[in-house]
Structure 1
Amino acid sequence: MVDGVSRRWARLTRKQAVSEEGPGGAAVHGHAIHLGVPALAVWVTALVLLGCSAATSVWMAAVSAAACLGLAFRVRRRGNAISRPSWSTVGLAAAVGVCAVSVVVAFRSHAIAEGPVAEAARMRAEVEIELVLTGDPRRLPTSGGPVERERFAVDGRIETLHYAGAWSHVRVPVVVLATGGAWNGLLPSQRVRLEGRLVPADRGELLAALVLARGSPQVVGGASPLQQAAGALRAGLREASDVLPSDQRGLLPGLVVGDTSRMDAQVEQDFDDAGLSHLTAVSGANLAYVAGAALALSRLVGLPLAPRAAFAVLAMVAFAVVARPSPSVLRALVMGVVAATALGTGRPRHGLTALAVAVLGLILFEPSLARSYGFALSVTATAGILVFAPPWRRRLATRMPQWPAEAIAVPAAAQLAVTPVLVLMAGGLNPVAVPANLLAGPAVPVATILGFAAALVAPLQMEVARWLVWPAGLATGWIITVAHHAAALPLGTLPWPGGLPGVLLLLAGVPLAVAVLRHTALRRAAVAATAGILIAVVAIRPLVAPWPPGRWLLVACDVGQGDALAVAAGPGRAVVVDTGPEPVAVSRCLRRLGVHDVPLVVFTHPHLDHVGGWTGVSRGRRVGGLLTSPSHDPAEDRGPSQDPALRTTRRWSALPGTRWTSGPSEFTVLGPLNDAPVVGPRDGTAVNNTSVVLHVRWRAGSAILSGDIETEAQADLLRAGLPQADVLKVPHHGSASQDFAFLAAFKARTALISAGADNDYGHPAPATLARLNWLGIRTFRTDLSGDLAIVEHNGGLAVVTRGRTPP
């Protein structure tokens, strides 16, 4: 969580802060401590009150107002001066802040809990509304189904409501959940009219309702000139980035302005695993680059000190509009304004003081930030850099040059500070984040500065913008490479309980860690123990339980609620049958198997839980061809058809009797037997029954890969005659729609079921499991055992699981 503001703070002013030496050798400004207590009090108060009623906030305001009176009397009686604040003065400031935020939350809570919008949400009523967008539509993961539909979440403000036969003028915040490409490209400040259902929002979000939109929005008002200009800059950067490879073209706008709309899912997951996801959350570093450039430019033209500071503030505000005011941008913007004000007035400033002012001001302005993980990560990272980085840098500088000391101290301090927040969010510890940030750090300013320059130039001269994007793409490619290798490292993410128990366990370990670091003998013992663990995990464990297992023939990848199978086609090669619901899981599975060449991708049928992960296969791998059902409608896999890696590949229809060999595997198409297009409504069962069914033979045995066929298609195949097989990939994730005679016909000894843990469909069905058990077929499931590998063993086939052994 490296924040550029703290590292570049000295460049924004000429005077050093008046500071005193705090605990641990950190330079801590006296006023920073006294401002930090009220800031923390305001934050905690907002955090608690957001989950309570407006009446509770009113009571808290009354109690804190009474405390203010008592503390004010005590401060006045003792004659405390603001210039030398005592803890009574600090308490008074905290009470004032608590009272203020309680009043703000009370008014906000009352506004969203009363009125026609809240009433309609309680009734879950159908309404017609006019909405002003307050943010860009955020693309959501697809939910699966026969046809992919774009899903969006949109922040907005209802201004007109038609409910119960009457129109009402209101002004309350909501979030719209919508489907359809018409939402893509809408800009903040645009006014739209739509129909939908209102439902209550979760407590603590300061939202009047959630809007479940129906149909497409009707635009009735254009965006403001400022938002149009910002949208043009963002669109220009996206267009200029089209000259880059797909992973780079998606990441560069994210690094520059936080636009992750086209970011590759695998890159996004690698960034999360490597601790680099903060790079796409625009914050202090980006604002520091902009402010620094503005100061340098204004100094070149000879502006005095105060106008230079004003120009820097204007540049930062303009950048915040383009990048959108996310929590991290708001926090960094307020800190930057405080620093620029100190520069313009010639008054001393300090980073922690500015941070405390930013927290106070932002939570009073927008109390919902108190529950924002993005805001918490931004604040804690900056605080860690300001408090821990200076003494660590000084200590490291005694053993190495200054620049590597700072390069190590800053990400280490930030990662230490944000770890409790990350554990509270999702659990897990990420030791690889510090070296990953150290390696990726030098490329970030190059990509950011060149990318922002390209965004400014693109609306005027696109060719020049593309020339600027090329070197920015090289820097972006390096960052992607670092993330890719860091995410693949063993022990990159350590298991750790999430939530409050995980945080308490982490805090309980702090005294032990301090004791170890302060004593040489304990420190050496800890280093030796850590080295032993690393050797055991990195060197010994792969020898004891190697993955992938040698001589694997078929792997059912654990991709959640979906199918993705890899069939051996030679060293580093595999035929991929279906790709699961999303790209990351199948890409990781193929990466673990060492697959870099895919001679053929088979889409058994076009449901998203079988084709949604197509980009995870094509990214970084050669794809030789595509095999689909003869009744398959190409419009239903518009995602794969638009992928450049698959658009130019050859396509074939799977006709019964077709046979080919790839490496050790011989494939024969058994179905679908009916090659006529599906007529009438293409419901789930009709499409499932068009699934491609394959018989795969190896020297040691064979397998049936049956897609999602249901009882009708199973009966057709039975009548046509079926070969025997040792392994059966159970159709449709083990659903209850199974023909008992079909399951028995193969005389299989092993069954594989690909299903997601705790899925909503109840797969696999208990009746299907009972039937398989009655037939004497041993069943293996990805939801219990992870990846499942079929291997050659003693002249036959055996199953090796990557996870725990199933019961």
Structure 2
Amino acid sequence: MSTGQGGPTDLPDLRLAGFATACWLAALAVVYGSVSRGVALIVGGVTVAVGLVVGMSIISRARRRPPGGADGRWSYGDPPGGADGRWSGRAWWRRTRRFGWIAVALAIGVVCGSAAATAQVAVRDARALAGLVDTHAAVTVDLVVRDDPRQIRSAVAGPALWLVATRLVVVRPADAGSRQPATAPDQGNDAAKGAAATGRFGIGVRLLVLGTSGGWAGLLPGQQIRVDGRLMPPRGGDLTAAVLSTDAEPVPHGRPSLAQRAAGALRAGLQRACAELADEPGGLLPGLVVGDTSRLDPGVEEDFRATGLTHLVAVSGSNVAIIVGFVLLLVRWCRAGPGLAAAACTVALVGFVILARPSPSVVRAGLMGAIALLALATGRQRAALPALATTVAVLVMIDPQLAVDAGFALSVLATGGLLLLAPRWREALVARGVPQGVADALVIPAAAQFACTPVVAGLSGTVSLVAVPANLLAVPAIAPATVCGVAAAVLSVVWPAGAEFVAWAGHWPAWWLVLVARHGAATPAGALPWPDGAAGALSLAALSVAVLLLARHGLTRRLLAVVAVGAVIGALPVRLVAPGWPPAGWVVAVCAVGQGDVVVLPAGPRTAVVVDAGPDPAAADRCLRRLRIRSVSLLVVSHFHADHVAGVAGVLRHRQVGAVATTGWPEPSAGRDAVRLAAARAGVAVGAVPAGWTYRYGPVELVVLGPVEPFVGTRSDPNNNSLMLLATVRGVRVMLTGDAEHESQRALLERFGPAGLRADVLKVAHHGSALQEVAFLDAVDPAVAVVPVGVGNRYGHPDPGVLTRLAAGGARVLRTDLDGDLAVIRRDGQLAVSTRSLDATDGSPGR
């Protein structure tokens, strides 16, 4: 771009980018706010836009009207070099006009984003539904499924839990099917009463379903269903108007669209083709191809998250680019022209959207891929950036929910990084003698990761040091795995045997990705802490922009490189020698895994005895990773409720486990069978242990104190038949009580007396419930009492009276829901407590 007499400038046209950014941020502010905030932003945006346009118009007219003189020139003051003043005046006006229109675009973006989001928020907060939500009313609803149902809790000692995103079509009071319509709850608003009189609400809002019926598993997006349930308030922060909790079977009405049925058939065929493969690569391959993570091993998922590879198992523009790129190579090999190449790529793009399922996230990824097609068809790479900005603005105005979607942010930033950063970095490397193919392999993952890092840091509270190397190592395997997976899905419809062979070929690159993620996650000090939330993301984004600006100059670029290398060299030894967690001298740790127990006793270097496994395999695995435990000499299962056994697979994952000791009480049978099955898969022996059984490994000594006899007919026989253990670690006595209640605690007190139960540390039974024997607590008389409990659990745990009693006895009481991970330390003969707060704890319900 030329400035006429002023010379060239490299400033890009930022109007569309500014419009899209303002639209996005305004929608974000309104979704997190209310209708009144949206109205205020609309009025403010219109006022600013009109003021700017009027101001620039006045200046433009004044510029053409000279204040006096015969020559008709407008005097702008003395120019820096020259006497007539023409150059400086024109340059000033061009700059003013340019930045003025950018400001107008920003104001219009605020208006558009606010208007779109305000309309949706008004629907979300509709008073007609608010009365039913506030009173947790029982209703019958007609819904349209918006995305694939996701299983968020496995069926261990209880029903599976499904999470389903839906659109609400009609809601009726639960008995509205009878002859007399039910009356809506009297909330004092006429809208709710008028709707209740007809027995129907025609609303069309977003509703999230939490269902335990297996009937949710087979539903497809676009399918209409009817189900009974109870309305609950949403968590907030998005456009969800209500949560429907239901145990009922959904009743489908009609059939999904042809595209959805075709997608379902292809996805099911891909899963069948991968069924005989090893669990880890076989579960990963459908995730790489179409984002289907239903069989993805939780350990692989956690490793991908730790190494910055999570984007590979979410349908994004990179999936589209791989498929379109493969088709483009074939077409060019056939010597086709640009028009035919673009047409073939368009067909491949549409086919991939159907295969991956035309849900909002897939359509979004398809549009991001279409940006590359635009650049291909026009032959202008610079056309891609305005296309990206236009796409972002249109998508946000169509669906303001995307403004709060982290996946959308990552997709946009990754695409922007590839468009803005990758070409410059590639040219710089090629200019320094790096082959172009090698340069592309280096800069593509680096640019995408650099652009996404602020959002990832805001979500996780860490900055990964292994993300870029891991992505570089993953590059050679991504395209072969994706192409083989797509081919297997297509072949599964016409040639199942051929699909299985192609899937087998694709599982080898998938296995390489599993290895990269596993070793990357195990790298010591692989992630550095960073503030989480919006503040952390914005601060890192500002730092990233500053680094890019400074790196444009040779001297500052060298200084930045020296500072970065010095920081890494200085920080890594500290992180390796004194990592902070677990603390030195720890004798017992209790992990924050939600509403469940995971207690860890150190038995040697990177070795431990683990008591219970919590409600979730991923949470149990993360707990042991944080403690750097690589082998488990003994896993003790106190009883078979889900909040103690559902995470057993996470303890066994990639660790050498000596044996599993369990209670002799066989109920609930689903939990018992799950433990046996997980242990059998890992080749670990399982056996029940009686009262009086002892175990010693390294500094850990365990004695099974109870149950002293089988308890039958109590409020909860599985709880009262929990194993009750007395552990001694380096002279510190730790009482581990499972979920034992009054009967079991009283029997233990009668058998051993107060002197036999004295302990330094007490793991309070049953998440601190009120079902404690006061005399038992007094007999243990701990210096430290720890309560494993989930945040906001629905059982009211822990009981305030129990906590008060323990504190009055001199115990320091800590809770995992408030304090995070807990570790008791022995130093110089004294006990101390160290905590590690977590960004979020798992909230899986226990029993």
- Does residue 253 (structure 1) correspond to residue 253 (structure 2)? The answer is no
Q: 1:109 to 1:737 in 2, by over 3 A?
A: closer
- Counterpart of 1:528 (choices 566, 569, 575) is 566
Q: 1:230 to 1:613 in 2, by over 3 A?
A: same
Matches within 5 A, 1:250-329: 250-297=283-330, 305-324=338-357, 329=362
* Post-superposition offset of 1:172: 1.2
The question of whether the paired residues in 2 share the 8 Å contact of 1:579 and 1:612 is answered with yes
Matches within 5 A, 1:469-508: 469-503=503-537, 505-506=539-540
Distance 2:151 2:820 in 1: 32
Q: 1:587 to 1:422 in 2, by over 3 A?
A: closer
1:443 maps to a residue whose letter is A
- Does residue 605 (structure 1) correspond to residue 586 (structure 2)? The answer is no
The question of whether the paired residues in 2 share the 8 Å contact of 1:29 and 1:353 is answered with no
* Post-superposition offset of 1:714: 0.7
Match of 1:82 in 2: none
Q: 1:702 to 1:361 in 2, by over 3 A?
A: closer
1:709 maps to a residue whose letter is A
Q: Secondary structure at the match of 2:388?
A: helix
Match of 1:369 in 2: 402
Q: Which moved more, 1:318-327 or 1:563-572?
A: 563-572
Distance 2:242 2:590 in 1: 42
- Does residue 449 (structure 1) correspond to residue 483 (structure 2)? The answer is yes
The question of whether the paired residues in 2 share the 8 Å contact of 1:600 and 1:627 is answered with no
2:639 maps to a residue whose letter is H
The question of whether the paired residues in 1 share the 8 Å contact of 2:21 and 2:109 is answered with no
Q: 1:776 to 1:461 in 2, by over 3 A?
A: same
2:467 maps to a residue whose letter is A
Matches within 5 A, 1:545-556: 556=590
Deviations 1:490-536 (A, max 9, x none): 44332222334335544665687566970756754553344222222
- Does residue 134 (structure 1) correspond to residue 169 (structure 2)? The answer is no
Q: Secondary structure at the match of 1:156?
A: strand
- Counterpart of 2:411 (choices 368, 371, 378) is 378
Q: Secondary structure at the match of 1:159?
A: strand
- Counterpart of 2:704 (choices 669, 681, 688) is 669
Identify unmatched segments of 5+ residues in structure 2. 65-96, 174-195, 838-847
Matches within 5 A, 1:368-447: 368-397=401-430, 398=432, 400-447=434-481
The question of whether the paired residues in 2 share the 8 Å contact of 1:112 and 1:118 is answered with no
Q: Secondary structure at the match of 1:620?
A: coil
- Does residue 155 (structure 1) correspond to residue 155 (structure 2)? The answer is no
* Post-superposition offset of 1:318: 2.6
Match of 2:80 in 1: none
The question of whether the paired residues in 2 share the 8 Å contact of 1:65 and 1:99 is answered with no
The question of whether the paired residues in 1 share the 8 Å contact of 2:711 and 2:720 is answered with no
- Does residue 714 (structure 1) correspond to residue 724 (structure 2)? The answer is no
Q: 1:741 to 1:406 in 2, by over 3 A?
A: same
- Does residue 692 (structure 1) correspond to residue 692 (structure 2)? The answer is no
Q: Secondary structure at the match of 1:738?
A: coil
2:644 maps to a residue whose letter is H
Q: Secondary structure at the match of 2:610?
A: strand
Distance 1:105 1:767 in 2: 46
* Post-superposition offset of 1:58: 6.7
Q: Which moved more, 1:176-185 or 1:595-604?
A: 595-604
Deviations 1:608-650 (A, max 9, x none): 3322311111212355445234252212456445537459765
- Counterpart of 1:518 (choices 531, 553, 556) is 556
Matches within 5 A, 1:168-187: 168=200, 170=202, 172-180=204-212, 181-187=214-220
Matches within 5 A, 1:717-756: 717-721=748-752, 723=756, 726-732=759-765, 733-745=767-779, 751=784, 753-756=786-789
Match of 2:17 in 1: 36
Distance 1:439 1:281 in 2: 19
Deviations 1:99-123 (A, max 9, x none): 5555544554455555855665466
Match of 1:47 in 2: 28
* Post-superposition offset of 1:439: 2.0
Q: Which moved more, 1:66-75 or 1:459-468?
A: 66-75
- Does residue 628 (structure 1) correspond to residue 663 (structure 2)? The answer is yes
Distance 1:456 1:102 in 2: 42
Number of equivalences: 764
Q: 1:532 to 1:613 in 2, by over 3 A?
A: same
* Post-superposition offset of 1:194: 0.7
Deviations 1:280-315 (A, max 9, x none): 221122101222233445567787654542332232
TM superposition score normalised by structure 1: 0.81
1:44 maps to a residue whose letter is L
The question of whether the paired residues in 1 share the 8 Å contact of 2:158 and 2:670 is answered with no
Q: Which moved more, 1:69-78 or 1:561-570?
A: 69-78
- Does residue 213 (structure 1) correspond to residue 246 (structure 2)? The answer is yes
The question of whether the paired residues in 2 share the 8 Å contact of 1:174 and 1:209 is answered with yes
The question of whether the paired residues in 2 share the 8 Å contact of 1:71 and 1:88 is answered with no
Q: Which moved more, 1:227-236 or 1:404-413?
A: 404-413
Q: CA RMSD in A?
A: 4.4
Match of 2:191 in 1: none
The question of whether the paired residues in 1 share the 8 Å contact of 2:14 and 2:102 is answered with no
Q: Secondary structure at the match of 1:442?
A: helix
Q: 1:72 to 1:186 in 2, by over 3 A?
A: farther
Deviations 1:375-410 (A, max 9, x none): 122112221232222223333341644444433333
